[in-house]
Amino acid sequence: MRSAETYFKELQEEINNESLKSSISKKEAFSNIVSGYLVEGEVFSSPNICTFKSMRDGICIDGYELSDEMNTLHVFISDFHEENQPKVISKEEVMNLINQAEMFVYTAITGQLHSLSINSEKHPEVYDLARTIRDNHSTIRHASIHVMTNCISALEENPMQDEIERTQTTYHIWDLKKLYDFNIEGKQIDELHIKLNEQFNESLRLIKAPVENDIYECYVGYVSGTLLAKAYEYYGNRLMERNVRSYLQARGKINRGIIATAKNDPTMFMAYNNGLTTIAEEVIFSKQDESGFVEINELLGWQIVNGGQTTASLYRAYVSKEDLSELFVQIKLNVIKDKNRKDELISKISEYANSQNKISISDLRSNDAYQAELERLSYTINVPNTSEPVTKWFYERTRGQYNVEVNRHGVTAAKKRAYQKEFPKKQLITKTEAAKYIMSWEQLPHIVSKGAEANFLEFCNKVREEKVKPNEKYFRHMIAKGILFRETDKLVQSLGYKGYKANLVTYSIASLSVLKKGSIDFDKIWNQQGIGQDLQEEMEFIISNVWKHITNPPEKGANVTQYCKKEKCWELLQNKLAKPTLIPHLREEE
């Protein structure tokens, strides 16, 4: 097992590589990397990196995420130190960082940020975010402030939750120790610890089933629709076990029947609905008696493994102001006792509970075949026109796989260097990156704009439906699309566009695909490992037009980041691309 000191150096190296690869500062590279970990840890889904700092007003943020429903706001601030050894950041320093991010939220909610130091031309994305927060303050029920640092925090526990202008606020510290536990020891980055009475003014009242063993305990009963909706509002898809999220993503539509029953006949909900199957790693009781009745006040690691559609639908009814006070849902709660078999048990419970769903374990395994083949191809295909030694692109099918392979082959320092020369870090491509590159070229930028996980799930569905079987040509062209994407990302950076970089890049790639899909030579990009001057100049024209489009939504005052997630945004841009007067010299000859 690698030590914390070794991990610190590896993280610094990863930050250096990301900084060089993307032509960004090391602090921004750190924000990219750690926010990516938090996506994998299911804390974020589609974070946006953008830095705003006003020392005069005591305000600083390095990124944000605002949910599609405008009910949850995440704001994060990065604390990066370029040191040779990990250092400790004091409690006072951590609280100072929290206060800077907190001040941003406060001034945005109250509308003061626009009258302070923010400038719409210098910081269009932050200005847009502040305006959106101000205009939607009544619907933003939960704000999370995150401190991300490559130091070891002296403040070990997250500060107590609070309120900012009646918005419930929580605080989270992601320090070197938590990152080490997640990346090296495989611990969950932020295990759910739900305090029902404290957070939602309600507890679970269930009956213990007469099942006696050392593996699990089972409780059955009911949960109120209000409690379920409030929990989903607070935690979102983090409540859903991964396969359930895949199912919800694939379905795409909220079950109208569930919403209709909640609205018109709530007392019949128990009769009509199959209820929930859930699991937890631990529960804390506030009441127990000999008859088997229990009252549960706290849940650790609670996950819904069947009933995600019901939960999401009730939430929609709740935010539509439907009265759920007379609506109840039956629930089965399995509490895992044998921690050594936790993953196995959760997987089996999920599989059997969802055995009739179209998106099930067998479907996910078919994706594994696609992923495994790309991984195999990456070990066999050499990059052309390179000096000795020959290099390859490394396809990372599972998180942290590259570092595992480097350490597995690097029994000596010389062998480790040799492996890294064969598979340079700059030629690492993850499965979510590959999905982003391909979906952009397949003209689905609005899906890519929804974030890594949402895009990856849609991509998996597309791969399955089209029965894609990767071969050498497919792999080379996938890498070429990646090179095109990365070069476009660097170009956007160098041209000085301020904000919305992720949206601007994917929409620009999709636009190029519309204009010249049949004439882009991916074999040439693969052979050159670059896009060339002519294509770079063409991309500059496209980027300019895409910027004008996405930053001018048809609905005045609409948030640009949210607008880019809508299919309407892409449809309107396609209409503009179809006009012969728009960048005609780029149009593919018919």
pLDDT at position 354, please? 58
DSSP 143-203: EEEEEEESSEES--SPPPPEEETTEEEEEEEE-HHHHHHHHTS---SS--EEEHHHHHS--
CA distances from 442 to 374, 412, 446, 460 (A): 19, 43, 11, 14
The torsion angles phi and psi of 165, rounded to 5 degrees, stand at: 50, 50
**Residue 247: is its pLDDT beyond 60?**
no
Residues 303 and 440 in one domain: no
> Which residues fall within 8 angstroms of residue 410, CB to CB, at 6 or more apart?
416, 417, 419, 420
* Number of DSSP helices (H) and strands (E) in the chain, helices first: 24, 18
Residues 406 and 337 in one domain: no
pLDDT tens, residue by residue, 75-100? 999 999 998 899 999 999 999 999 99
Of 77, 72, 73, the C-alpha closest to 50 is: 77
pLDDT at position 1, please? 55
Residues 31 and 180 in one domain: yes
The SS3 call for residue 389 is coil
Please give the torsion angle defined by the CA atoms of residues 508, 514, 518 and 520, in that order, rounded to the nearest 10 degrees: -10
Question: Who has greater pLDDT, 586 or 376?
Answer: 376
Residues 334 and 390 in one domain: no
Q: Say how many C-beta atoms besides its own lie within 10 A of residue 55's C-beta.
A: 9
When mean pLDDT is compared across 204-208, 385-389, 458-462, 529-533, the lowest value belongs to 385-389
**Residue 68: is its pLDDT beyond 80?**
no
b/e burial code for range 210-243 (CB count within 10 A of at least 16 → b):
eeeeeebbebebbbbbbbbbbbbbbbbbbbbbbb
pLDDT tens, residue by residue, 167-199? 889 899 999 999 998 888 777 777 788 999 988
Q: Which of 331, 357, 383 is the last residue of a domain?
A: 357
Residues 142 and 222 in one domain: no
Spatial distance between the Cα atoms of 451 and 456, rounded to a whole number of angstroms: 8
Residues 39 and 175 in one domain: yes
The SS3 call for residue 288 is strand
Spatial distance between the Cα atoms of 121 and 551, rounded to a whole number of angstroms: 12
**Residue 472: is its pLDDT beyond 50?**
yes
Question: Who has greater pLDDT, 448 or 6?
Answer: 448
State how beta strands 216-224 and 204-208 pair. Answer: antiparallel
Contact assessment for residue 243 and residue 354, using Cβ atoms and an 8 Å cutoff: yes
pLDDT at position 580, please? 65
Percent of the chain residues topping a pLDDT of 90: 51
210-217's contacts with Cβ under 8 Å and 24+ in sequence apart are: 210/292, 213/337, 214/337, 214/338, 215/336, 215/337, 215/338, 215/341, 215/345, 216/334, 216/335, 216/336, 216/337, 216/338, 216/345, 217/334, 217/335, 217/337
Residues 158 and 181 in one domain: yes
Percent of the chain residues topping a pLDDT of 70: 90
pLDDT at position 449, please? 96
pLDDT tens, residue by residue, 275-290? 999 999 899 999 888 8
- pLDDT band at residue 487, thresholds of 50, 70 and 90? very high
> Which residues fall within 8 angstroms of residue 51, CB to CB, at 6 or more apart?
27, 28, 31, 60, 61, 62, 63
**Residue 497: is its pLDDT beyond 70?**
yes
**Residue 525: is its pLDDT beyond 80?**
yes
Q: Give the chain's mean pLDDT.
A: 86
pLDDT tens, residue by residue, 138-176? 888 889 999 999 999 999 888 888 889 888 898 999 999
- pLDDT band at residue 240, thresholds of 50, 70 and 90? confident
pLDDT tens, residue by residue, 419-438? 888 999 889 999 999 999 99
pLDDT at position 539, please? 95
What residue numbers bound the domain in which 203 lies?
195-357
* H or E segment to which residue 205 belongs: strand 204-208
Spatial distance between the Cα atoms of 24 and 18, rounded to a whole number of angstroms: 8
**Residue 588: is its pLDDT beyond 80?**
no
CA distances from 89 to 25, 59, 63, 428, 556 (A): 21, 19, 21, 32, 43
Tell me the mean pLDDT in the region 24-33.
94
Of 314, 320, 216, the C-alpha closest to 270 is: 314
Contact assessment for residue 64 and residue 135, using Cβ atoms and an 8 Å cutoff: no
The tokens describing 330, both together, are: 């039956």
Residues 352 and 384 in one domain: no
Q: What is the largest CA-CA distance in the chain?
A: 81
How far, rounded to the nearest angstrom, does the alpha carbon of residue 411 sit from its chain's CA centroid?
34
Residues 125 and 261 in one domain: no
Question: Who has greater pLDDT, 316 or 570?
Answer: 570
Spatial distance between the Cα atoms of 463 and 28, rounded to a whole number of angstroms: 33
**Residue 131: is its pLDDT beyond 50?**
yes
Cross-strand pairs, 164: 167
Q: Which of 357, 380, 415 is the last residue of a domain?
A: 357
**Burial (0-12, 13-18, 19+ Cβ within 10 Å), 108:** buried
Residues 176 and 60 in one domain: yes
- pLDDT band at residue 122, thresholds of 50, 70 and 90? confident
What is the reported pTM?
0.79
Question: Who has greater pLDDT, 352 or 492?
Answer: 492
Spatial distance between the Cα atoms of 335 and 325, rounded to a whole number of angstroms: 27
Spatial distance between the Cα atoms of 81 and 99, rounded to a whole number of angstroms: 19
DSSP 423-483: S-GGGEEEHHHHHHHHHHHTT-HHHHTT-HHHHHHHHHHHHHHHT----HHHHHHHHHHHH
Going by the DSSP 8-state scheme, the letter that residue 586 receives in this structure is: G
- pLDDT band at residue 478, thresholds of 50, 70 and 90? very high
* Residue 425, amino acid: K
**Residue 482: is its pLDDT beyond 50?**
yes
Spatial distance between the Cα atoms of 287 and 296, rounded to a whole number of angstroms: 7
Residues 245 and 296 in one domain: yes
**Tokens 């001034």 belong to which residue?**
107
pLDDT tens, residue by residue, 340-395? 777 677 767 766 665 544 443 333 443 578 998 999 999 999 999 766 678 999 99
CA distances from 195 to 9, 136, 234, 297, 300 (A): 37, 27, 12, 6, 9
Count of structural domains within the chain: 3
**Tokens 């495994």 belong to which residue?**
372
Residues 52 and 118 in one domain: yes
| Residues counted in the chain | 590
Q: Which of 190, 223, 244 is the last residue of a domain?
A: 190
